[in-house]
Structure 1
Amino acid sequence: MLTLLVVVCTVLAYLLGSIPTAIWYGEAYFGIDVRKHGSGNAGATNTFRVLGKRAGTVVLLIDAIKGWISTSLALMLYYGHMVEWNECQTLKLIFGFAAVVGHIFPVFSNFKGGKGVATLLGMVMSVHPEAALVCMVIFFVVFMSFHYVSLGAIIASLAFPVLLLLRTFGKENESVIVFGFMLFGMIVITHRKNIVRLMRGQESRIYLRKKKE
């Protein structure tokens, strides 16, 4: 019974992650497919670039929420007394990973989605809220300093497992630390083109306020 529930929750997490928020929101409210504009990416960053701050914020929040909900499915099994807390943490990682994969390879949009940063944020908020908040601060500091979303995302995703490895918040589950480094690797892979553009000085900057002429 437990095995079946884990499989069902994993599939459900993937499907939740597969919801192409940027595409559906852009088409519903602007009549625009964000994949045909800007960077061509179906994520929050490109939504900010193409549709503006309000639309980008909505997409960012929804993508983060679907990551949080997917990861938190493990709590149903824990509070249902079907698994212990350590097992619950492991299941959180599995369900959260499924959601991130769903966001990157969504079944609802020909397996071409975003880069998984916002969904990963939601996952981390569920797995370790304290570390997630610190990583959010790191992201905003990097972003406001350099105006590169990709650079902020890469550094913040690395900060998560490093903070846990340094026992910043006390003793942590080793599986969470290992998984954190794996997710950092995934972020690097999905941002490989951005990394090349950063090295060449060709990455697009995003400003929350309009630049003064």
Structure 2
Amino acid sequence: MSLTILLFTVVAAYLLGSIPSSVWYGIGYFGIDVRKHGSGNAGATNTFRVLGKRAGTVVMLIDVLKGWTATSLASMLFYLNEIGETELLMYKIIFGIIAIIGHIFPVFVKFKGGKGIATLLGMVLAIHPELASLCITIFILTLLTSQYVSLSSILATLAFPVLSWLGVFGHPEPLLVVFGFTMFVLVVFTHQKNIIRLVNGNENRVNLFARSKQASNQR
């Protein structure tokens, strides 16, 4: 693969991840900058909290699509015979991580973005949809029982490398296991404040069936 093509796909993956869906959607549709409300985070979770479940769902799906599309750039290179089959997983991981970095540090909104969970989900869906689906189930069950998005995200992220290492869907792939644990460390790092609040018992809960006051006032 030429250096030009590699640089193009790396930049494309970063720009895809950098799309500030929560900010653009909130301002464009509601006239509300989610960064000025709730936790101040430019992510799907704060969008749910500030603008309600419909807006949160839209933002979450866009963020998932960002991760999936960026990761799938590797498949495009494979079909164009720019990379071999043995390199496919490696490049999927590289482009997916770059998209997550773009989401956390987006160029379009002064490098202050979300925590990358939805983008990470899109990435793992592109890499291993069966394992990702199981992690989604763990996330949903934890969220329904605890109402803590942070705890649900951390446990679901941890489940990915653990289940991969245990060979739940076949022989464990070392690169996938290493990637999974690396992502878990990153998620723990970006959720440090949430973890402290969880330990102290004052973490914000998300009521999926509640309607946001800010969004209601704009209708």
Distance in 1 between the 2:92 and 2:165 partners? 19
Q: Report the Cα offset of residue 5 of structure 1.
A: 1.4
Q: Report the Cα offset of residue 210 of structure 1.
A: 4.2
- Which residue does the alignment assign to 2:138? 138
Distance in 1 between the 2:54 and 2:35 partners? 18
CA displacement, residues 152-201 of structure 1 (integer Å, 9 cap, x when unaligned): 00000000011110011111331111011101111001100000000000
1:199 aligns with 2:199: yes
1:162 aligns with 2:123: no
Distance in 1 between the 2:210 and 2:84 partners? 51
Distance in 2 between the 1:160 and 1:148 partners? 19
SS at match of 2:11: helix
Distance in 2 between the 1:210 and 1:105 partners? 30
SS at match of 1:111: coil
Q: Report the Cα offset of residue 82 of structure 1.
A: 2.1
Distance in 2 between the 1:52 and 1:29 partners? 13
Letter in structure 1 aligned against 2:166:
L
- Which residue does the alignment assign to 1:29? 29
Distance in 2 between the 1:167 and 1:86 partners? 20
- Which residue does the alignment assign to 2:129? 129
Give every structure 1 segment of 4 or more consecutive aligned residues whose post-TM-superposition deviation is greater than 4 Å.
none
Q: Report the Cα offset of residue 207 of structure 1.
A: 1.4
Distance in 2 between the 1:137 and 1:165 partners? 18
Instruction: Report if the CA contact (8 A) 2:165-2:173 is conserved.
Output: no
- Which residue does the alignment assign to 2:217? none
Distance in 1 between the 2:41 and 2:184 partners? 19
Higher relative contact order (CA 8 A, sep 6+): 2
1:104 aligns with 2:104: yes
- Which residue does the alignment assign to 2:49? 49
Deviates more, 1:80-89 or 1:144-153: 80-89
Q: Report the Cα offset of residue 208 of structure 1.
A: 1.7
Structure 1 residues 210 and 43, CA, compared in 2 at 3 Å: closer, same or farther? closer
CA displacement, residues 58-101 of structure 1 (integer Å, 9 cap, x when unaligned): 00000000100000000011111222222011000000000000
CA displacement, residues 93-137 of structure 1 (integer Å, 9 cap, x when unaligned): 000000000000000000000000000000000011011000000
1:78 aligns with 2:78: yes
1:94 aligns with 2:94: yes
Distance in 2 between the 1:209 and 1:116 partners? 23
Distance in 2 between the 1:3 and 1:89 partners? 19
Letter in structure 1 aligned against 2:162:
V
Distance in 2 between the 1:18 and 1:82 partners? 25
- Which residue does the alignment assign to 1:13? 13
TM-score scaled by length of structure 1:
0.97
Distance in 1 between the 2:173 and 2:182 partners? 15
Q: Report the Cα offset of residue 10 of structure 1.
A: 1.1
